[in-house]
Amino acid sequence: MKIFVLSRRVLTAVAAVALAAAMVLAVNMPAAVGASATQRQLPIYAVEPAAGEKKIAISFDAAWGADDTDTLIDILGEYNVSATFFLVGQWVDAYPEEVKKLHEAGHEVMNHSNTHPYFTQCATDTVISEIEACNDKIEAITGVRPTLIRCPYGDYNDAVINAVRSLDMEPIQWSVDSLDWKDSATAQSIYDRVVSQVEPGSIILCHNDAEYTPDALANILKTLQEEGYTFVPISELILPQPYTIDHAGVQHPAG
């Protein structure tokens, strides 16, 4: 459990630094446009919703443990919510039946790298091989090749994002962090944080094996649905090309 906490603290810190750097660099340059942009490249943190729409997405990163898989599937099914699960290839190796369960329950099964390294410390060919190895493993079980990836630790730079998009994939971050991994987390703190921060177009980050996430999930789904939100998988939330991404990582339709 100690290793889990340390790794997630690093994740949050790296993600915050990466976004702050992106915002500074974006001040004097235009927004990134699709996969072909040559300027600063950003992943998608959230999406500008269509007028009057309240679509959001909830996602779960899976890098260790699978004890809560059935519980999460049951809760999501109770509220008729399709989520997006980002799986590490090594997790896929360890829990192939869980991968199959997620897919058969109607959830998106997407890429979280093969071995969970810091991509910014890897050569481009290593990043690509990490992505493709995980894609191969997921496709072998589900029959569907992932089109989205969440970079390990939320760690990226221009080279990483360009490598991802060279594979016709989209890099996905998050705009609402449940912080369900923290030692101090409780079901109430997870619920309060998510419900207070969600807005149309949000992408929510949770984890598949965090202690209190199952206890918080039903109330989160119930409350947000009562507030008029519709949960969709991330692939249905994000926009097709052409699009722009602003300095905060929000995806907008081009033109």
- Which residues form the catalytic set? 61, 207
Q: What are phi and psi of 158, to 5 degrees?
A: -55, -45
Orientation angle between helical segments 158-166 and 124-142, nearest 10 degrees: 40
> What are the Cα distances from residue 79, in Å, to 76, 112, 140, 235?
5, 26, 29, 19
The first and second tokens of residue 14, run together, are 């790296």
The first and second tokens of residue 247, run together, are 């300095």
Distance CA 148, CA 228 (A): 26
Is residue 137 a contact partner of residue 168, using CB atoms and an 8 Å limit? no
Query: Residue 102, Cα to own-chain centre: how many angstroms?
Result: 16
Distance CA 16, CA 253 (A): 25
